[in-house]
Each structure stands twice: as structure tokens, then as C-alpha cells.
Structure 1
Amino acid sequence: MAALSSHQVEPLARHQGTFYLSFSPKTLPYAELAAYHLAAAQAPKSAPAHSIRVGLDHNLLAPAAVLTVPKGPFAAEKTTLTGKTNIVRFFSRVFAAGPAGASALSTSSLYPESAPELKARIDDWIDRLRTAPGTQLAAADVVKALEAAAPTKALVGTATTIADLLAWDALLATGASSPKLAGWLKSIHSAPALANAAATIDGLVETAPQLDVFRFEIVSQICALTGSTPDVIYPLLEEPRDRKNGDISLPLPRARLPGNPIELATSLAQKFKCNDLITKAAAAGPFLNFTYNRDTLRNRTIASAVGLGPQYGANATGFGNFGIVEFSSPNIAKPFHAGHLRSTIIGSFIKNVLDASGWGTVSINYLGDWGKQYGLLAVGYERYGNDEELEKDPIRHLFHVYVKVNNDASENPAVHDEARAYFKKMEDGDAHAYGLWKRFRDLSIVKYKEIYGRLNVQFDIYSGESQYSLGQMRDVLHELQDLGLLVPDQGALIVDLKQFDLGVAVIGKTDGSLLYLSRDIAAAIDRKKVFDFDRMFYVVGNQQIHHFKQLFKILELQGKTWAEKCEHIGFGIIRSKDGNMSTRKGTVVFLEDILDEAGSHMHEQMRKNEVKYAQIPDPDSVADVVGQSATMIQDMTARRSKDYNFDWDRIFSFEGDTGPYLQYAHSRLCSIERQAAPLEVTPEELQSIDFSLLTEPQAFTLVEAIAAYPDVLREAGKTLEPCTIVSFALNLSHAVSSAIDVLWVSGQAKPLAHARLALYVAARITLGNALRLLGLKPLTRM
């Protein structure tokens, strides 16, 4: 059976060799990141490969930095560390270098365990930090303590240690210093590792979602005034029923604070201190309403989108987690049809969302590539197969062969006996039988990759039922028997799940043959062993809900505590106006035919505008992308659990809320940038652009749409619903269209043109990020 190759497990190896450090602006982890850089530089060459990812905590008031260490070369089990002393010590120890018996003052370690006197001095500094009141040392206390130590180059010993890092960290956090410390601070801060750490942390603070900056300003003040906590107040913030009352509202009755909510609202509104973020706090009965400083929101949102570019909207909510996403999973020799489209694009979307949320992920295409049907296919290929047709289009040719041999079998049952005998040879490892099967599989995968490429989908692993041997499935059988779960019943081997309202799960037959539920159990156990996932998502149609409920319950009964980490992501079926998918191509519609048909029609539409058509370098490719966008957006517009009607007329439409409309909006924004040349917008130029010139209602509407994207992406990471992003992209495109009608760039004075262009660049970046998240390739011309 096939084994995982090195490149297939690369995402896992990358994840296991990565440290995940997350923090809030309240807990800037200068010392933690500096310790990593210094200790890693000292690590021996033989040490495992490693890297660090640093991300901003969603809670901008979080009281501690957190380091997540995945199970792997640096930790026996997934480990979470908080607080400077824990994290800094971990880095200094895990990368400890130098030969045994090295000098007590060796520079190979930030925390030299073998030097008791030096270690005691370092621990003294650590204890001072630990016992300091509040979350930070007072600036005066830091300066006084450091001046008493009178450091010149290093605080203790002759080389930089944890003590220096923590002292440097405290000075940065408090902004304190003194002439007496200037030389030491300059010496410490000039170290490249420390300078890089400070720049990284300071830069990441600027990536905070701008709406969160405003919200957490409200949360911070309300918590200070009431004694409540951010985890209570933040989730309660909501949009007011009437935006005339403000931008965001806090319903005080739900906060369960002491006192009369109406009186409390009035009191808090009077005590709230307005600033450059919040311009107004007003009570409306038991509601406390707040108004954002729209100028600040505009300036910061445009700067954030342009500065972050492709990373705008991404977050660190999944830091340290590893997820498996199994999707598409067609059966070889059966049509790769529109039904597979749903699993493919939903699964790809889920992987994209997890990646954008900081997860480590691996995508698996679990092919239906084993079983008696392949014996039947082999028998059919001997009768009807054509090597030339197989090489040309393996999926279609094998399907036609399969249909023909099934017709034969319906007329002559002996064909099934031939198929069983042939499959037995495959299982026994017969070279010819196994070789023919492998040829079918390999050629089919090549064709699958071609189709997936048109959908912007890639898989880390092509797995399948064939990967799990009879031996592995019999191990499952034996374990179920040993646990008393497996019982014979009328020629079948079953697990009785009726007490859980799940009926009877058929695992195999008493003649020794095993059904695919046994393979799914074996596959789940194997994946947990190999990947030790935090979540595993099966993206399969709603028709299989019962199957997955049985699978997860059996794993639970086997004592697999991780069964709760497995989740079935279901979706509805695709219908057509006449009840099937044969509207254009006959009894079976292949996905490739749908994409070809959509692309061909889009090409015809594009030709109608000869001027624009002549400007497109590769019209065939553009038409294919537009057709793909039309097909995919039709699928993802509604919630995935709903069935939907496959509608060629809607796919072919350039009007309304369709894929072509989204691509057109993006290409219009790109056109504005081209026409504005040589004027351009780059992160470096943002400081010189006067955003105060953007005063029109359409500008603020567009800014609000752009600012919402990080929220929408975070919500999509929870619901795993593509329609969340589709709705956002359509709303943003509507705002773009309204703005373009009024806010012209061409013909305007340079300061105004530059400001409007920056707004459109921010919109283009945001829309492009949303389209890529959906699996679309944003077009620059169409």
C-alpha cells in the first residue's frame, strides 16, 4: 500500500518545527522574541530545523503573551507557555548549546544552569519581575534598580543573559531610561537580534484590525469604570438598531452589572472620556451608544489595507493548531461531476480560511480507488479499453468502460464473479493486476490535477481507500471484537448503535469481507497517529450525515478521546431545472464540461466589446477564469447546507450578484490604477497622502466596507461558510461601484487624485484577498 512521501508530510513537519507566539499591545513580548533569536543563533547545527511565527492576539487587552509549542522535536506533547519568565527560560533551555563541562560563563546559553552564582543573580532579576505590582514595573523602579546595578555592557556576567533581556524589555515597555544607563541600553539594543525583535513586535501592533482598536478602547474604559472584564464586555458590543444613534452599542442589561441599567448607562456616558478614537458616548435607555472618529477610521483603514497587502484581514486565532481537511474525493472510473464541485470548492475554502487564521493545515484528497468495482473495471478494460483513449482522457474513458461492463454484468451475473476474482488478485499483490490498477490511478490523478488547476485547488496529499491494507482493517476488527462492540448479525458484522439512535453500523461480513466504514475507521486512527491533528474536517454531502455520525460514535466507543475533534462539514445537493444534471451534455455532466461550457459562453460575451477584447492579452484564459468564477459563486452564494438549482442562465449572466460582477469590480479598480500612472500608492508613500480630502459619503461607505473585512474573515473561520465571504465581496463591490460613479481620479488635482487612488487601492487589495479566499483568481482585465 502507498506510504506518505516526504513532500506530502512537509506541512506537518513545518508545523511541528514552528513556535507560535501571540500577544496583545498590552503585553509586548520584546524579551521573548529576543530570547528566541539569541538562543536560536547559539543552537548547534545538529539541532532540528525551527522557525517562529508571531501574531497579534484578538483580545487587544490580553494580559499575557502566549507561546504554543506543537508536539514534535521541541515538546513531547503540545505545550502552552505564558509569561516572560516561562517563555524566555524555555527558549534559553531548548536551544542550549556547547559541549558538556563548558565554562560557567560560556556564551552558549542565556541561562547557564551550571553556574550557580550567575544563575542566582539571574533568578533575582526574574523574581523582581514576577513580584512587581501590576503587569509592568513602574518606570522609576526599573531605572532605580538598573542604576544600582550600574551595568556597562551586560547586567550580570560578561555576556547577555535573560536578566539583560528582561531589563531591556521593561525599559522598552515603560519608555524609561537615564544618562547613567544610556551606554548599557545602547549596547544591548544594538544587538541585531534584539533590534529585529523590537521592530517585529512594533510592526505587528500596527496590524490590529482597525474596528477592534476602536472596540477595545471602549472595552478598556468600561472595564475600568465597572470592574468587569473584556471577555464579558467585548462579545456584547453590537450594531445599534438605528445607526443615527452611533456606530456601536453596549446593551447594559446583558452585562449583568449591579444597579439600574438605565441609570448606569447615563452615568457611564458622563464618565467616558472621548478621544481621537471615540468622539461620543450617549445613553439611550439601557443602551450605551458610541460614535467612532470617522476621520481616524478612514486614515487607519486605508493605511492598514495598503500596508498589509495580501495579509490584510489575516489573523492569529488558529496559532498552534493543526487541521486536516479532506475534500473532493472522487471515485476513479466514475464521473468527476458537478456534485464534486461542491466538496472541492467548499473544502478548498475551508483550508484557505484556516491558513488565513494561522492554522497549520494539510489537505487530503481521499480517492475512491479500491474495491471490487476495480476488478469490474479491469474486466471491462480487457473488453473495451483503448490505451490511446486512456492516455488522452483517463477519467472519461474509464467511465465509459465502467458503464459498458456494468451493462454486461446486468445481463450476465458471471461477470461479477470475474470481477471478484480479479480484485482478489489485486489484494494478493499480483504484479499485472496491481500494475494495471496503478496505471488507472496515476493517469486519473494527472487529469484530476488539470481540472483542479482550473479551480485554483491543490492538495498536499492524494490518499485513498487503497492506502489501508486488509491487515490494518482487520486490526480495527479485532479491536472492536476485544471491546465487545462487534457482533455477528444475519451474515454481517455490526456495531449496534441503536441506543444512540444511530441504528446498526455494518463493518463487514462474516465471510471476511470488510466494508468501507472499516477503512474510514482505520484512516482516522492512522491520521491521528501521523498528524496528531487538532481538528479533522470531512467535507462530504449531507447524504452522508448518518455515516459520519456512526463513524465518530464508533471511534468514541473505542476510547478515542480525539473523536470529538472530527467534524463532518455537510452540504446540499445540486439540482437542475429538469431534475438532473443533463441539461446540456446528456445523462452525465462532467465538471470539465461545465467549466468548458461556462468559459466558452463568457468568451462569446467578451467578444461583444471589441475595444476591451483587443486589450486582453490572453482572452481564452480570462474567459476560463470568468466562467469558473460564475460557476463557483453560484454555488457559494447560499449557505452550504442548502440544496440549490444549477442555473445556466444565472451562470452566464454578467448582471446582478454573480461571479462575473465580482471580477468586473476588481478589474475596474485595476483599470483605475493603470489610468492613474505615473501616480501610484505604496506603503512608503502613505505618510504623504492627505486623506482628509476624502469627505464624501461614498468614500466613508467604502472605508467601512474595507474595515469590516478582518471581522468577516474571523467569522468565516468560525462558521466555515463561504457565503459569508461572498456576501462581503458583493457588498464591497457595490460600495466600489457607487464610489467610482462619484469619486473620480482622472482629471483631479494631484493631492485629491492621490487620496482617492489610495482608497481604490485599499479596496482592490481587500476585494482581491476575499476572492482568493474563495478560491478565485482576481482578474486585472476583462
Structure 2
Amino acid sequence: MTQVPDKIPKSTSDVHLLASLPLLPVPIGAEPLRNVLDAFGSAVAVQVAEILGLPLSDPNDLLRSKTVGSKIKYEFKINHWIQPAKAEGSLVKFEMDSQTLCRTVSHQVNELPHLSAKEIGGGCGINSSGINPSTGKKKKVVLEFSSPNIAKKIMQHLLDVYTKINKDMEGEEKAILGQKAHDFFKSMEEGDPKPVALWEQFRDYSIKQYKQDYAGLHIKFDVYSGQSQVSHESMNVALKLLKEKGIAIKYHVTLICDLNAYKLGRTIIRKRDGTNLYITRDIREAIQRYEKYKFDKMIHVVASRQDLHLAQFVKVLDRMGA
């Protein structure tokens, strides 16, 4: 079994930084050249498989002994990918090497937009000039980061409101308030001026506060926008396109995208009452961003708990030919 390399090249001028990744046995479905987290995951899998005497291609998910965690912890060897393992019973936590993480992520952001799919798959040399070799022109990358949600408890006063609403919704009032919230959201989606104006006021206040918070961290974004700004009319355009391409289908009284063929399940894109979901807005927003920026690559920085949502979102765009 090929071992994790004991060092990372210090310079990409001699060796492609990502060219070392294929040295790792790559589990089915992992794409270390496109997703740096897959490289770190493969680095962990290599050692765990070796320590437990399990084949990398066929892990035993029924191995639940509490001694397994301790065995992995004490036999795991740190390297430039992974720091010491921590065991809590049968749970083992692995910490990525921060220096390697920063270098590989920045490398992918800087280099992958300038490489063709063939080059990425073949591990060819980098194009250090930052120029698209096929056209000789510079490429454009849109990076979506932070993505705060104005409905979440980021600031204390929002936490207080969030807590109060949940308390008020206990008992019989829960159904009543839930229906009111649903009706308000639906009317806002349909363009009713009053709820839209109230939402815009909340959004303006929130962004003003976000800017102040980020300023304290010396962070400034070029654009403050999100899927909540996608209009009902523009989403209808996206839904029409999905229907025309046979991607969106009716399922009972809802509209869904069936991605079972890709092991991604089914995702609802319009509910029975005509309201849309996050993925519907994300799809339309991605199209709008491309129409505005004509980018060559768009990168989403999101929490890992959104893995399925992002996988479904990307697959739908892929099927649309976007």
C-alpha cells in the first residue's frame, strides 16, 4: 500500500503541489485534485486501513469496539497531512495540518481555474502565469464566502428574538404562528410590497451590523448579496428551464429533481403550495451570477453539514449544462 508522502514540496516551481496527491490510494468517489478535503481524508484512510488490517476498498463499518479508537490513536503516525489523533471511546478525531491545509487550498484556488479537466485528472504541470492556455486570457473566479443567514442567531438580540419566538410557539400557538410565518413568506415571494419592504429593512440592518463585525476582523467583501434577493419571477425562469430539460419532474403535488441515479436522493425544488426552497434560489442565483460576472469558476465556502445540499445543487447545474 502506498504511504502518505512524508513531506510536501516546498515550491511549486519544481513540482506541482497537487501532483503528490495521487500517491495516496484514493477511495471510490474521492477527488483529491478537485477537493483538498478528499486528500486529507485519503491520508487518514490509508493509515486507519493499515492499522486495523482492513482493505481500503472495503472498510468494515461494523467494527465498533472501544479498543479500536485507542489502537488508532497510539499507532497513528503524524505527518504533513494529519496531526496526532484524539480518541474518545470508539470516536476518533483527526486534525488536519493547518500549514498544509492553507497551502493546498490556496493552491487549488489559484491554479485549478487555469487547468483543463484533462490536466487536473492527469496531474500535469501548473500554469504559473495565471493565464488560460486555450485563449491566452485571464480567468475570473467568484468566491462565495461567509454566507451569514439573517434568520440565524449571529448577534445577541437576534438570539433573544429567536428564543422568544420558539417559546411563544409552544402549545396551541405553534400551529397558528407557523401558518402566519408561512403566509408571510409566501406573500413576500409573490412580491407583496409590504412584507418585501419589511424584509429589506431587516436585511439592511443586518448587513450594516455584519460590516461592523467583519471590520473588527479586518475583513471586507466586494459584494453583499445572497439567494434571498432572487425574485419569484426569476425563479420561475429557472424552473421553466429545469422542466424543459426534463430535470424537474412532478412527484405527487410537488416538483422535484430525482438524483437517485447519482446516489444523491430526491430534492424538492417547489413545494405543493408553490413556495420555493433554498436549492431553487441557489440554482437561479448561480445563473444570475454567471450572467453578471461571466466567471470561469465559482467557489462556495460552506459548512460540511451542507455536503448533500451542495452535491445536489452542483449535480443539477451539471445536468443543466451550466
Range of TM-score over shorter length: 0.5 to 0.7
- Residue 326 of structure 1 is matched in structure 2 by 144
Structure 1 outlier segments of 4+, above 3 Å: 234-237, 427-432
Q: Which amino acid aligns with 1:329?
A: S
> Residue 410 of structure 1: CA displacement?
3.3
Distance 1:328 1:471 in 2: 27
Specify which structure has the higher proportion of helix.
1
Distance 2:156 2:211 in 1: 15
> Residue 421 of structure 1: CA displacement?
2.6
What percentage of residue pairs aligned between the two structures are identical? 40
**SS in structure 1 of the partner of residue 242 of structure 2:** helix
TM-score normalised by the chain length of structure 1: 0.24
- Residue 491 of structure 1 is matched in structure 2 by 253
Distance 1:509 1:421 in 2: 14
1:149-228 mapped onto 2 (5 Å cutoff): none
1:130-141 mapped onto 2 (5 Å cutoff): none
- Residue 282 of structure 2 is matched in structure 1 by 520
Distance 2:257 2:191 in 1: 30
> Residue 420 of structure 1: CA displacement?
2.3
Distance 1:430 1:408 in 2: 26
1:444 equivalent in alignment to 2:206? yes
Distance verdict in 2 for CA 1:510–1:432, change over 3 Å: closer
Distance 1:327 1:427 in 2: 25
Runs of 5+ unmatched residues, structure 2: 1-10, 18-126, 132-137
Distance verdict in 2 for CA 1:482–1:444, change over 3 Å: same
- Residue 235 of structure 1 is matched in structure 2 by 15
Q: Which amino acid aligns with 1:513?
A: T
TM-score normalised by the chain length of structure 2: 0.55
- Residue 535 of structure 1 is matched in structure 2 by 297
**SS in structure 1 of the partner of residue 225 of structure 2:** strand
Q: Which amino acid aligns with 2:317?
A: L
> Residue 429 of structure 1: CA displacement?
4.0
Q: How many residues are paired up?
A: 196
> Residue 236 of structure 1: CA displacement?
8.8
Q: Which amino acid aligns with 2:311?
A: K
- Residue 397 of structure 1 is matched in structure 2 by 157
Distance 2:275 2:151 in 1: 22
- Residue 73 of structure 2 is matched in structure 1 by none
Distance 1:437 1:455 in 2: 27
Q: Deviations over 1:298-354 (max 9, x none)?
A: xxxxxxxxxxxxxxxxx9643412111111111114222xxxxxxxxxxxxxxxxxx
Q: Deviations over 1:714-740 (max 9, x none)?
A: xxxxxxxxxxxxxxxxxxxxxxxxxxx
> Residue 428 of structure 1: CA displacement?
4.3
Runs of 5+ unmatched residues, structure 1: 1-210, 216-233, 238-314, 337-394, 561-782
- Residue 466 of structure 1 is matched in structure 2 by 228
Distance 1:468 1:534 in 2: 22
Residue from 507, 517, 520 that aligns with 2:269: 507
**SS in structure 2 of the partner of residue 495 of structure 1:** strand
Distance 1:505 1:430 in 2: 27
Q: Deviations over 1:678-736 (max 9, x none)?
A: xxxxxxxxxxxxxxxxxxxxxxxxxxxxxxxxxxxxxxxxxxxxxxxxxxxxxxxxxxx
> Residue 489 of structure 1: CA displacement?
2.0
Distance 2:200 2:304 in 1: 31
Contact 2:190 2:232 in 1 (8 A): no
Distance verdict in 2 for CA 1:428–1:522, change over 3 Å: closer
Distance 1:235 1:539 in 2: 27
Distance 1:535 1:317 in 2: 17
Distance 1:482 1:431 in 2: 31
Q: Deviations over 1:556-605 (max 9, x none)?
A: 11122xxxxxxxxxxxxxxxxxxxxxxxxxxxxxxxxxxxxxxxxxxxxx
Distance 2:202 2:275 in 1: 24
1:17-416 mapped onto 2 (5 Å cutoff): 234-235=14-15, 317-319=129-131, 320-336=138-154, 395-411=155-171, 412=173, 413-416=175-178
